Structure 1
C-alpha cells in the first residue's frame, strides 16, 4: 500500500470512483481510493439505478441533464458496457396539485433545453400498454431518462481510473484523518497511514462519521430503503413509472424483470439493512394497482440499501472551509448514482482548479447553518 498520495478518496461507490477517474483524466494521477469492503458494495450496488432530468429545481435539472449527456457516451469513454437503457421516465400524478407542479417542472425543464413534455393517458398507455390509468390526473415524460447498471458503471469507472494510475484499495477502512493547524495531513487506515494534503469524503451513509474524523459535523444520516425484483417476463413497459403522490418507482429491466421500491413511511436513522414483510406487502399492493394484469408475477428477492439523507434531500458538495484540503461529495438522498458522472467531474474540477463548470456553491454544507435549504418537489 502506498504511504503517500496527492489525493485520498474515502468511499468506493459511484461518487468515489467517478471523482478518482476524473482527477486522473485531468492529470492528477497520484490518487488513492479507500473502500472498507469492495467496490460498489454499499449504497451504489443496492440502488435502483434510475437516471433522469425531470426535476423541479434549476440546479437539479442542470445536474440531471449534464449527467445524462455523460452517461450516453460513457461506455465508449470508459471502454466497458455500463448497461445504459433510455426508455424514459413516465411521471404519474394522482392529485391536481401534483399535476400542476409537474407542468411547472416541464416548463422549467424546457427552458433549460430538456425536451420533457406533458402527455395524455392514451400516450401513457402506448408507452406501457398494461398501465391502469384510473385515478391518474396527468402524466409527463422525457425520453432520455432511463437507467444504467450501477455495478457495471462503477466497475467501469474504477478500471478506467486504475489504467490512468489510480490505486484502489478494497478492504481498507479509513479510521481517522490527521489535521494539523487547520490542514489535512493524512489518513489513518486499518492497514497503515497515508500522507496526503487532500481528502475527499465520498463515504455515502457513513459520510458524517468520516467528516467527524476531521472535526467537522455535517447533517447526513442513513435511512433504510427497500427494493424488490421479480421474475422476468416479456417486455410490457418501456419507461420507469414514477409517482410522488403514489410513492413508487417501477422499472422493467431489459431482460424482463421488474425492479421497484417506494419511500418508507417511517424515516428511521439507522445503518440497518434488513428486509421486511411490510415492504413486500406494501409494494405488492402498489404494483397490482398500477399493473393489475401482472398480479401473478412472482418475486425473486428483495433487499435494502441506505439513502444518505440530508435535511433538504440535496447533496453536500464542495470544500470544507475550516479544514484546508477536506472536500465532501455526499448526502445525495437517493440520487447519488444518477448524478455520479457529473458530480465526479465537478469535484475534480474544484479540487484541481477551484472552479466548476456548473455552479455548486449553493450546495455547501454551510447552507444548513444559514437556513438556505433547497427544496426539491420531485422526489419519492
Structure 2
C-alpha cells in the first residue's frame, strides 16, 4: 500500500470508485481508494439499481436527469455492461390529495427537462397488464427512467481503475485522520498510514464516523431498508412500480426475478439483519397491487442502510474548517441513481476548483440554516 497520495478516497462503493475514476480521467492519477470490507459491500451492493428522475426537489431532479444521460453511455465508456435498461418508472396514485401533489411534481420535472407525465389507470394497465387498477385514480410515468445492475456498476469502475493504474485497497479500515491547523496531513489505517492533503468521504451511512475524526458533525442517520427477491418468472413487469401509499417499489430483473422493497418502521442504527415483519408487509402490498403475486415463491431477502439527511438530499462539496475534505454522501438511499454526475462534480471540484453545476445548495453548511426544501419522494 502506498504511504503517500495526492488524494485518498474513503469508501469502495460506486461513489468512492466513481470519484477515483473521474479524477484519473481528468489526469489526477495519484489516488488511493480505501475500503474497509470488499468493494460494493455497503449500500452499493444492496439495492435494486433503480434510476428515476421523478423527484419533488429541484436538485434531485437535476442530478438524476444528468445521471440518466451519463448512464446511457456508461457501459461503453467503462467497457463493461452495467445492464442499464430504460423501462420506465410507474408511480401509482391513490387519492385526490396525492394526485394534486404529483401534478406539481410533474410540472417541476417537465420544467427541468424530464419527460414525465400523468396517465390514467387504464394507460397504467397497458404498461403493466397484471396491475390491479381498482383503487388507483391515476399514475405518473417516465419512459426514460430505468434500472441497472448495481454490482455491475461497481465492477465496471473497478476494472476501469485497474486499467488506469489506480490503487484500490480492500479490507483497509480508516482509524483516524490527522489534521493540523485545518489542513489534512495523514490518513491512519489498520494497514499503515498514508500522507495526503485531500480526502474524499464517500462512506454513505458511515460518513459521520469519518467526520468525527476531523471534528466535523455530519447529520446523517442510518436506517435499515430491506429487499426481497422471488423465483424467476416469465416477463410480466417491465417498469419499476412505486406506491408511496404502501412505501413499496418493485420490478423484475433480467433473469425474471421479482425484486423490491417496502418501508417499515425502523429505529436508527447499523443493523442489517432481515425481519419477518418486512416479509409479511411486502407480501401483502405486492399482492394488493399485482394479485397474481400470491402464487409466487419469494426466495430470499436482505437489508442495507439508507444514509438519511434531514432534507433527504445528498451532501456534496467541501467541508468548512477542514481544507480539502470533500463530502459525497447522504444520498438517502439513492446514491446509485445519482452516481455518475455526482462523482464527476466532485472530481471537477478537486481538479478544476469549480463545478459544471452549482453544488453550493448541497453543501454541508446548508444544515446551519432552517431547512428550505425536503425531498418527499423517498420510498423503500
TM-score (norm 2): 0.98
Q: Helix, strand or coil for the counterpart of 2:85?
A: coil
CA–CA distance in structure 2, aligned partners of residues 374 and 212 of structure 1 = 26
Say if 2:310 and 2:374, in contact at 8 Å, map to a contact too. no
Aligned to 1:276: 275
**C-alpha deviation, 1:235, in angstroms:** 0.6
Aligned to 2:42: 42
**C-alpha deviation, 1:106, in angstroms:** 1.2
CA–CA distance in structure 2, aligned partners of residues 89 and 288 of structure 1 = 19
Say if 1:98 and 1:245, in contact at 8 Å, map to a contact too. no
Aligned to 2:234: 234
**C-alpha deviation, 1:377, in angstroms:** 2.4
- Structure 1 residue 135 and structure 2 residue 119: aligned? no
- Structure 1 residue 167 and structure 2 residue 167: aligned? yes
**C-alpha deviation, 1:162, in angstroms:** 2.3
Aligned to 1:82: 82
Say if 1:128 and 1:238, in contact at 8 Å, map to a contact too. yes
**C-alpha deviation, 1:373, in angstroms:** 4.3
Aligned to 2:366: 367
CA–CA distance in structure 2, aligned partners of residues 116 and 144 of structure 1 = 8
* Structure 1 residues 373 and 188: CA distance shift in structure 2, 3 A: farther
Say if 1:85 and 1:254, in contact at 8 Å, map to a contact too. no
Aligned to 1:306: 305
Give the number of equivalent residue pairs: 379
Q: Helix, strand or coil for the counterpart of 2:364?
A: coil
Aligned to 1:123: 123
Q: Deviations over 1:217-270 (max 9, x none)?
A: 11112110011000110111111000212210011112210111012223x111
Say if 2:246 and 2:263, in contact at 8 Å, map to a contact too. no
Any runs of at least 4 consecutive aligned residues in structure 1 with deviations exceeding 4 A, and if so which? none
- Structure 1 residue 99 and structure 2 residue 117: aligned? no
CA–CA distance in structure 2, aligned partners of residues 374 and 204 of structure 1 = 21
* Stretch of structure 1 that moved more, 216-225 or 188-197: 216-225
**C-alpha deviation, 1:374, in angstroms:** 2.8
Mapping 1:254-269, distance limit 5 Å: 254-266=254-266, 268-269=267-268
Say if 1:87 and 1:145, in contact at 8 Å, map to a contact too. yes
Task: For structure 2, list consecutive stretches of 5 or more residues without a partner in the other structure.
Answer: none
Q: Helix, strand or coil for the counterpart of 1:338?
A: coil
CA–CA distance in structure 1, aligned partners of residues 298 and 309 of structure 2 = 32
TM-score (norm 1): 0.98
* Stretch of structure 1 that moved more, 112-121 or 5-14: 112-121
Aligned to 2:346: 347
**C-alpha deviation, 1:309, in angstroms:** 1.1
CA–CA distance in structure 1, aligned partners of residues 98 and 6 of structure 2 = 48
Say if 1:9 and 1:202, in contact at 8 Å, map to a contact too. yes
Say if 1:176 and 1:213, in contact at 8 Å, map to a contact too. yes
Aligned to 2:376: 377
Aligned to 1:295: 294
CA–CA distance in structure 2, aligned partners of residues 162 and 197 of structure 1 = 23
- Structure 1 residue 157 and structure 2 residue 157: aligned? yes
CA–CA distance in structure 2, aligned partners of residues 100 and 210 of structure 1 = 41
CA–CA distance in structure 1, aligned partners of residues 156 and 270 of structure 2 = 27
- Structure 1 residue 58 and structure 2 residue 53: aligned? no
Say if 2:320 and 2:365, in contact at 8 Å, map to a contact too. no
Say if 1:231 and 1:299, in contact at 8 Å, map to a contact too. yes
**C-alpha deviation, 1:108, in angstroms:** 1.3
* Stretch of structure 1 that moved more, 89-98 or 193-202: 89-98
Aligned to 2:145: 145
CA–CA distance in structure 2, aligned partners of residues 168 and 73 of structure 1 = 25
Say if 2:7 and 2:32, in contact at 8 Å, map to a contact too. yes
Q: Helix, strand or coil for the counterpart of 1:336?
A: coil
CA–CA distance in structure 1, aligned partners of residues 126 and 331 of structure 2 = 33
* Structure 1 residues 129 and 40: CA distance shift in structure 2, 3 A: same
Task: For structure 1, list consecutive stretches of 5 or more residues without a partner in the other structure.
Answer: none
**C-alpha deviation, 1:117, in angstroms:** 1.1
Aligned to 1:11: 11
**C-alpha deviation, 1:305, in angstroms:** 0.4
- Structure 1 residue 176 and structure 2 residue 180: aligned? no
Say if 2:120 and 2:137, in contact at 8 Å, map to a contact too. no
* Stretch of structure 1 that moved more, 157-166 or 88-97: 157-166
Say if 1:314 and 1:374, in contact at 8 Å, map to a contact too. no
- Structure 1 residue 31 and structure 2 residue 31: aligned? yes
* Stretch of structure 1 that moved more, 99-108 or 19-28: 99-108
